[in-house]
Every structure is written in C-alpha cells, then in structure tokens.
Structure 1
Amino acid sequence: MTEIWKRAAVPPVSDADPFAHEALLDPEPLHQALRVAGPVVYLSRYDVHALARYQQVHAALVDWQRFESGSGVGLANFRHEEPWRPPSLLLEADPPRHDAPRRVLREILAPPALRRLCETWQTLAEELVDQVLAEGPEFDAFTALAQAFPLRAFPDAVGLGPDGREHLLPYGNMAFNAFGPRNDLVAADAHRVAELSAWVNAQCAREALSEDGFGARIWGAADRGDLTYEQAPLVVRSLLTAGVDTTVHGLAACLYAFATHPGEWQRLRERPELARSAFDEAVRWQSPVQTFFRTATTAVTLAGTVVPAGTKILMFLGAANRDPDRWHDPDRFDLTRDPSGHVGFGMGIHQCIGQHVARLEAEALLTALAGRVERIELTGTPHRHPNNTLRSWASLPVRVRRARRDTARPMSS
C-alpha cells in the first residue's frame, strides 16, 4: 500500500460517538466532520483509529495482510475476547482459513446457478408486486416489498423450509448490532440470543435443508473434501446472516431513492436494463452496511499516522461512498453515474460473496415494479431502525400510480 506521507503525524482526536442513536439514524453530519478532520481520526471513546475518506478505507479493505479480519470485524478483539458465536469463516477469517469456504461459495454462486434463478425470481417478483398493487395504491414499501421479497426468494434458494423465516431479520439485527459496542442496542437483543442462535444453527444442519439449494451444495462440498464437516454449517450460517438483511435494506434504499427522485424513476422505466446499476447506486448512496472494523497486525503508517499493532481500525464505508474526492455530487442518487468501485459490498478478498445474488434480487423486483408503476411518492416520513452496523429501515410509506399498461420486460440473464 502506498503511503501518502512519510513522516508520522499525530491524528486529530474526536470524542464523537458513531454508535449513538442520532449518529446511526443520521450519519452524514458525522461522516462529513470525520472526512474534513483528516485521513485518520482517533476516536477517544473507543480507542480506535477511524477512516472516513475513500482512499484510506479502500486501502485498508484490500490490505488484509496488515489489516486483518480474523481478530473480528467488530469492536471486540478476538485476540483478547471470546466471540459470542463461532466466527464467520468468510467475514471473520483470513487466508488460509478463509480460502476454502470462499472458493466453495464462489463456485456455488457462479453465473450458471444465478441464471437458473433468474426466471424463478422474475416470476416471484411479478406475483408479489401484483399482489401488493391489488390491495391499493398506498402501502409500506419496506415491509410489503423490500422485506417480503428477499425473505421469500433467498431462503428458497438456500433450501430453507417455510417455517420460522420470521427469525431471520431479528437474528441479523442481533448479529450486526454485535459488531458495535455493548450498548443499549446489544442489550435489547440479549434475551433472544439463545433462541435465535439455536434456530439459525438448526437451519444450517444438512437434514433441515432441501436437496436442491445452495445449502445442500455446501454440504456436498464437505462430502468431496473441499470443506470439513465442521465448516459446512458455518458456511451456511454465513450465507444466511449476510444474504438477507443487507439485501432487504439495500432494496429499501432503492425504493426510497426512487420515491424521492422521480426523474430517476422515469429513467429506469424507460431503460429497465439499468436496474442492477440502480441497486449499486442506492448501495453507494445509502450504504446498508455502514461500518466494519479491522485490526492492525503490525505497526502501520497510514496517511502519515502510525497505527500501533493490535489496534482496531473503524472503516466508515458509508462515508467513503460519499467522499467528494471520489464521487461527483456524492449526495445525489444518480442513474447516470457509474457506481462501480463503491465499498458498500467491501473490497478485496473479503468483498461480499453474495453481491451478485443481491443484484439479481434487486433486478427482479425493480423490473417488475418499473413495468407496472408510473410513479412512487412518499406519503409520510420514513422511519429508520437504529443498528450498530446497518443503515436499517423500519417503515417506508408510499403511494404509487399504476401504469396505464404493463410494460414489464424480461430481465437480462
């Protein structure tokens, strides 16, 4: 990694709390302040070094040798603290421990498998949109669409049975809260940790999964010796943890973007092939995953600041995705923008393995909507749900005007 300055510098110090409710619900003011303060800022409340500019966030994400994930991607340091659950073999592991699980999932989630899902998910999205529109022009787009579609499509693809899926979002909320400090949000989940963990772990067992889903293929990799039988359920769990909440809140970000940018909705209706790019632009603009931590494996000079070995580094993905030094007019949702390079899915070897699955889900839902809905507008104030890591939604009240005729087109494969 190229150092910006050669001489060590003392970073600016901030006592800001990025995990306070007001910062979680409205993070942009803090993000701007951190970017202005410097390339590295010391957060005194948590004894961590913070990165909020794109250049430094990107550099830390791709440099897994010096900024490791294996000590935990939350505030807790697994070198000194016992994790609350067995660490993720994808998110919280580095090579060589990370290699086999990622290789297996990369093969399972390869383009041929996604092409087979394309028609199924398009049909499912059209059925859901028709059902929602039949109930009236006003509805909560978060629960009716952004939440409902991934909770049906993705668990089906993994091979989960129909019962108990309502546990997936509470479990994800708990898991992503756990990456932050042990604050009131973590305490609020404490009474359900055992129940939710037990349910999710049970779904990762081979006998709980259908024979034709992603989960069964993970267990098949263990049969071939590509994974151990101890690793297989942890890989299924990683898929379930990372594959639902982030897509739900990414889709909600899309719907919020189009409800507040009517010109961009018309652009999508005229060019439905922009659906995948629209999802990426919404992920850049809203960043469903706001923060992740890394741990310095050695003393590292980053932008002139020496980060001591064993120190936690807090990367503000949401701030990097709105860095004006990287993006023109970054606070605008803009379908003419090329959003590639955003860090909303991470970067480097730990980049989200399921991002193409999320794009396919978004394309299915947005294409179905674009062919049936002429206009989307807010009917009230959207409400966020505070989470230590996610930019979460609680409600998104909208009114839609139906198109005079159905202009839906097939998705690209």
Structure 2
Amino acid sequence: MNTSNFTGFFLFGDEYNLTNSVIVVPVLNDSLIRMEITEFIQKVNFWITIMEIVMVICGIIGNGLALIVINRRSLRDTSSSVFITYLAIFDISVLVVHITSLATSHLIHSYIAHCFLTYLTDLVTFCSVWIIVIMTLERCVAVRSPFLAKRFCTTERARSSIYILILFAFILFSSTFPFIYTIDKIQQKCGVRYRYQRIIRFIKPTIFYFVPDLLLLANLFVIYELFMAKRQRQQTLMNPENAVHQLGAVSFNRKQRQLTVMLVTVSFGFYLFTTPAIVDYIRQMNPPKHHDVKRLKLRFLMTNLSVLWLQMSSATNFLFYCLAGSKFRAATIDTVSDVCDFIQTKLSKDGNHIPRRRRQTKSDLLSSEHELRNGLNKRRSSSIPRISVYPARRLTTQSSNEIKLASQFINKPILENVLNEVEV
C-alpha cells in the first residue's frame, strides 16, 4: 500500500510520565483514500464515456450501412436478409438507448426518464440477443435439409418469428416491470425492489446470456454440415454420373453458404463480447473484503471495460458481415460507390459528372454473356429463316444421339466449371 495513504506517525505521550516511551502507530487515512479513489473513478468515467460515444457513432453508421446493403436487389428476398435487417434495427436501438441513458444520467435527473430507459434497455437487448438465436436455429434447418429450407426458411416465416419475438418481449417486460422495479425518489432513478434483487441477479443473466450461449452451440452443428456439404461437392466432382441429380442441391448449398458463414461469424462474435462480462458478473457475486487501493482500482477498471466490451457486440456486426461474406463486401463497395457518385453529381455545378464504373462480378459476366448469345441467336434466326422437316423416327434417333453426345462431354473439368458458375 502507498505510504501516502497513511498519516505517517502519531506520538502518544503519558500525561503522568513526562519521560514516557513514544508509541509509533500507522493510522489509515480514510479521507485520502476516498479522494484518491474518487479521482480515479472520475478519470475512468471520462475516458469510458468518450470511447462509448465513438463506439455508438461507429456502430450506428455500420448498422445503417448493413440495412442499406442487405436490402439491395442482389441480397434481399431471403430469410437471412430479414434477420439481418431486424438485427441491425435492434442493434441501433440498443446503442441509441445506451447513449441516451448516459446523457440523461448527467444532464437530466428524472426518475420517469430513468425508468423508461431501463424498460427500453431490457426490451431491445432481449430482442437483439434472441434474434441471433432464432436465425442460428433457422440456419441449422437450412444446412441440414436444403429442400426443407425452401419450404420453411422463407421471408414470410422469418418475419412471423420476429413479430412473435417482439410481442413476447413486450408482454414479458411490460407485465413484470411494475412489480420488479421501484422508484427511488432520493437518487431520482429506478431500482430493483429489495425482495427481488437476489432473484433478478440470477434470472436476468440467464435469459440474456446463459441460455442464448447454450442455444448458440448449434453453430457447431452448422459448421459440421457445411464441412459435409463440401465433401459431398468434392465427391460429386469425382463422380460425374451423379452430377445431374445432385446439381440442384449443390447449387442451393452454395447459394446459402455465404449467408450461413456470415451469421455463424456473428454468433461467435456474440461469444467473444459477452464472455468477459459473464466472468466479471460471476466475480461480482463475491465482493472484495480487502482494502488494497490498487486492487480496488483494477477491479473497477475491469468492470467498466467489460461493460464497454459487451456493448461492442451491437456495434461490430457490420465488420463480421464484411469479413465473412464476399458478396456482402462487394455490395458494400457498390453502395459506397453509388453514394459517392450521387454526392459528386449534386456538388458538381454543370451536372455532367460521369459515374464511376461498377465492379462486375461473376454473375454479371455470366448474365451478359448469356444475353449476348441470345442476341446472336435471334439475329441469325431473323436474318436466315430455315425450316427443316424430319420424320418422327429420324428425330427420335437424332435426339438420342444428342443426349449421348452431351453425356460424353460431362467430364470433370466441365463439371467443375458448371458448379463454379452456380456459386453465389
């Protein structure tokens, strides 16, 4: 312990004996300790507030970009796009409510505003966490049976599940909030009733973190199914005779693969950001009994950093989308290019700004090549009309020969090109 925390030495004399012995006693100065800890808390809160403001601004921009990109024509109309859309909306809500709570705690001292923000925090955080759980379970169905996924993993069912979740969360928190929380008029804030403090300390982390963490272990099954699908694709390449029968399933798996990897990455990000907060929460069940100032400072700092790290889970999903999905990354680049072209067009005086060329993807090249071939065929058919009449028997023989000839051309290199063309 620092020597500044002691008063040094006090001399106690015996009034009956002038030649008394001097007793040296170190006395802990509580006022100096409190001043030191208070100053440390103010510094930590100042820098934590600055980092939270930067995090909220970046998180709102990232989730806003995710909303725009996922609703582009190339990515929308899938169940995964519905989940990502609502997840971005609730992540923005979590960040806005969090920064609003910080602002009102310093500027507005109203217990009504504090209670309302406490209710909104529980509601939007619950919906944000459980949307990740629902889309993880939906991905399990998609990778396990692609043909069942075409029936059940639809945009309508995804929206229905989101609406049911929102309704359930609204009923749950609206019915329990008046009984669990009470108004502390002295501190002008909303607090948990004394009789429910111990129960809430176990129930709230359970429904917000522990149960979702257990259900998100289904991502291990998703990873296993993706690995098996990759092996099946390799076996299909080795055995061209089964290519015609398995081409539809492989095509659907390849189309769903990138979205699945994106959502699995978000789930692992949830583990990454919530685990330190859970560990710190378990440590808080045993409050410190020592009076070591350095250890108390360190514990306070780690607690605040774990809360900040927990909020990062709502601000970094856009980065995981870009890292895990090449198609999402390409759509993001196109979106940013379109925005830059629009701004430059508005700022240019003559209005003759030439937009930059959009990056062509594999699907764009294939579609343009297909349109070019169709145009050439139409020109040939319109310029040189040819009418051929064949007997029925000869036509049947010719068709069977064409089928045999086509089956001979389905070898491994050509099959690899076909499977690569259907990749998203």
Query: TM-score scaled to structure 1, two decimals?
Result: 0.24
Specify which structure has the higher proportion of strand.
1
Find the structure with the greater CA-based Rg.
2
Specify which structure has the higher proportion of helix.
2
